Structure 1
Amino acid sequence: MSPEVFVEILREALQMVIILVSAIILPSLFVGLIVSVFQAATSINEQTINFLPRLIVTLLALSWGGHWLVSQIMDFTFTIIDRIPEVVG
């Protein structure tokens, strides 16, 4: 296996991880920011107020995007399996 093939596979894997994690984390980040701005504007300093909306949005992102996430992982897995002869040979 040449180093170029290894680096390319590693780059593709890291890119896949970033895309999949971003699809789940970014909506939660935006909701957390909105709730934090609301807490700062109203001077409410309760930590549990921020948790529930973020949890709900994360679960909704997983349920709405779950099919897409799994299909991306499957496509990547099939691509890696198809590239086994290139890596070994």
Structure 2
Amino acid sequence: MNERDALDILQQAIWTIIIAAGPAVGSAMLVGIIIALLQALTQVQEMTLTFIPKIVVMLIVVAVSGTFIGAHIYAFTEVVYSRVEHGF
């Protein structure tokens, strides 16, 4: 294993993390922006108001996109195991 192989695996790992976390983080960001706009319009400045909707939306998004996330993690695992099996 040389530096190029290590960097290639690291790059694939980072992209897998971004793809796997993307739907949950994106939905939480969208809900956070919507709630922040509603708080600004109604002038209700309660800090804990954003937690429950974000958690609920993130759980729903992860439940819906779980197979997509699992498929990407499985594909990355297969690539890493195949490289270990064939000696890089």
Using structure 2 for the length normalisation, give the TM-score: 0.91
Runs of 4+ displaced beyond 2 Å: none
Aligned length: 87
Match of 1:37 in 2: 37
- Structure 1 counterpart of 2:18, which letter? I
Tell me the secondary structure at the aligned position of residue 83 of structure 1.
helix
Q: 2: distance between equivalents of 1:86 and 1:15? A: 23
Q: 2: distance between equivalents of 1:23 and 1:54? A: 12
* Gap runs ≥5 in structure 1: none
Match of 1:57 in 2: 57
Cα offset, 1:22, TM superposition: 1.3
Match of 1:17 in 2: 17
- Structure 1 counterpart of 2:74, which letter? M
Match of 1:4 in 2: 4
Q: 1: distance between equivalents of 2:28 and 2:56? A: 9
Q: Percent identity?
A: 26
Match of 2:26 in 1: 26
Residue pair 2:28, 2:58 contacting (<8 A) in 1 also: yes
Cα offsets for 1:21-74 (capped at 9, x unmatched) = 112111011001100011011100112221111111100111000111111111
RMSD: 1.0
Match of 1:46 in 2: 46
Cα offset, 1:17, TM superposition: 0.7
